[in-house]
């Protein structure tokens, strides 16, 4: 199934049950949380928080304030329901990241898998502006994005529970598809390919500085050989950038 409008409302529960645990824990979360560093007392805004996978991690790691934002009401419902079951003090809001108001002055804005859902460059620019407006001067944006250098004909990530497809020679705005294994079936969501140059231009255009491009890395606790195929053709990259001093919004 490939959905175009509120696609995550349709797949929220499936995504929550996706078979991604090893990859997410040993590669993705390891890379993100290692780059985040100590979370004690941090004010963290998790944009495109989904059902709260990382939102809860930030709270569990000792963040002082944690707010989650997602455009999918269904994803936010799942996040709130986990919060009711086990309260951590997380507050969730439904907003498109591009139209998100100022919700606080955060030390860190995390956006794991957001920018590629921008339908055009203005949409992506508005997301980056709204996230900057929520960061304290000098605060950090940590965003996981699809790796524009991923070769769709290279080693795939099927054995890790997902695949990402785009044309062999993609250009900005080309449609792409993420396929996620859930039990015995597959859930597909639509996104767009954007080049490294475009991501960098949009992020720096929103006033962020010190843009750093971190390849994902494997936890020392992981069975390293299992992730060799992933590291040969990683589907994602972690981008870190420092918020405008004084804000650009
Ligand atoms: C692949 S999921 C990732 C969820 C979460 N960040 C995680 O890592 O588990 C992508 C999320 O982005 C959200 N999303 C897509 N476009 C968005 C937008 N314009 N504004 C806010 N959230 C958006 C979707 O609803 C979905 O929950």
pLDDT digits (tens, 9 = 90+) for 108-122: 999 999 999 999 999
Instruction: Return the pLDDT at 156.
Output: 84
Residue 103, both tokens: 């919700």
Span from the CA of 14 to the centroid of ligand 1 (angstroms): 14
CA nearest ligand 1 atom 26, residue? 50
In a domain, 133, yes or no: yes
Span from the CA of 49 to the centroid of ligand 1 (angstroms): 6
The CA distance from 178 to 2, in Å, is 9
In a domain, 199, yes or no: yes
**Distance from chain centroid for Cα 6:** 17
In a domain, 218, yes or no: yes
Instruction: Return the pLDDT at 3.
Output: 40
In a domain, 76, yes or no: yes
Instruction: Return the pLDDT at 183.
Output: 82
CA dihedral 230, 235, 238, 239 (to 10 degrees): 150
* Ligand 1 pocket member 213 (CB < 6 A): no
> Which residue out of 4, 50, 58, 192 has the highest number of ligand 1 atoms within 8 Å of its CB and is therefore the one to mutate?
50
The CA distance from 188 to 207, in Å, is 34
In a domain, 99, yes or no: yes
Instruction: Return the pLDDT at 4.
Output: 37
CATH number of the domain residue 83 falls in: 3.40.50.150
Q: What is the pLDDT along the chain (249 residues), one digit of tens a residue?
A: 334 346 788 777 776 666 667 899 999 999 999 999 999 999 999 999 999 999 999 999 999 999 999 999 999 999 999 999 999 999 999 999 999 999 999 999 999 999 999 999 999 999 999 999 999 999 999 999 999 999 999 888 888 989 999 999 999 999 999 998 888 889 999 999 999 999 999 999 999 999 999 999 999 999 889 999 999 999 999 999 999 875 444
Instruction: Return the pLDDT at 184.
Output: 82
Instruction: Return the pLDDT at 17.
Output: 65
In a domain, 172, yes or no: no
Instruction: Return the pLDDT at 104.
Output: 98
Can you give the residue range of the structural domain that contains 32?
20-149+194-242
Instruction: Give the model confidence (pLDDT) of 27-81 as tens digits.
Output: 999 999 999 999 999 999 999 999 999 999 999 999 999 999 999 999 999 999 9
**Distance from chain centroid for Cα 21:** 16
Residue 12: count other Cβ atoms within 10 Å of its Cβ.
21
Which atom in ligand 1 lies closest to the alpha carbon of residue 6?
25
Count: domains in the chain: 1
* Ligand 1 pocket member 113 (CB < 6 A): yes
Residue with tokens 């860190």: 108
Instruction: Return the pLDDT at 223.
Output: 86
């Amino acid at each position: 199934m490939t959905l175009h409008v509120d696609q995550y409302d349709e797949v929220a529960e499936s995504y929550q049950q996706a078979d991604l645990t090893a990859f997410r824990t040993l590669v993705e979360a390891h890379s993100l949380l290692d780059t985040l560093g100590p979370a004690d007392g941090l004010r963290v805004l998790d944009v495109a928080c989904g059902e709260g996978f990382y939102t809860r991690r930030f709270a569990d790691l000792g963040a002082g304030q944690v707010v989650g934002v997602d455009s999918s009401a269904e994803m936010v419902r799942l996040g709130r329901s986990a919060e009711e079951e086990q309260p951590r003090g997380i507050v969730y809001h439904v907003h498109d990241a591009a139209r998100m108001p100022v919700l606080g002055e955060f030390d860190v804005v995390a956006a794991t898998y957001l920018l590629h859902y921008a339908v055009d460059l203005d949409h992506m620019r508005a997301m980056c502006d709204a996230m900057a407006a929520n960061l304290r001067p000098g605060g950090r944006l940590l965003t996981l994005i699809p790796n524009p250098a991923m070769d769709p004909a290279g080693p795939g990530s099927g054995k890790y529970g997902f695949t990402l497809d785009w044309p062999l020679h993609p250009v900005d705005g080309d449609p792409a598809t993420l396929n996620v294994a859930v039990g015995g079936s597959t859930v597909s969501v639509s996104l767009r390919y954007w080049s490294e140059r475009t991501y960098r231009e949009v992020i720096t255009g929103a006033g962020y500085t010190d843009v750093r491009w971190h390849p994902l890395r494997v936890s020392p606790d992981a069975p390293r050989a299992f992730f060799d195929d992933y590291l040969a053709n990683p589907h994602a990259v972690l981008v870190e950038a420092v918020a405008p001093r004084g804000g650009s919004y």
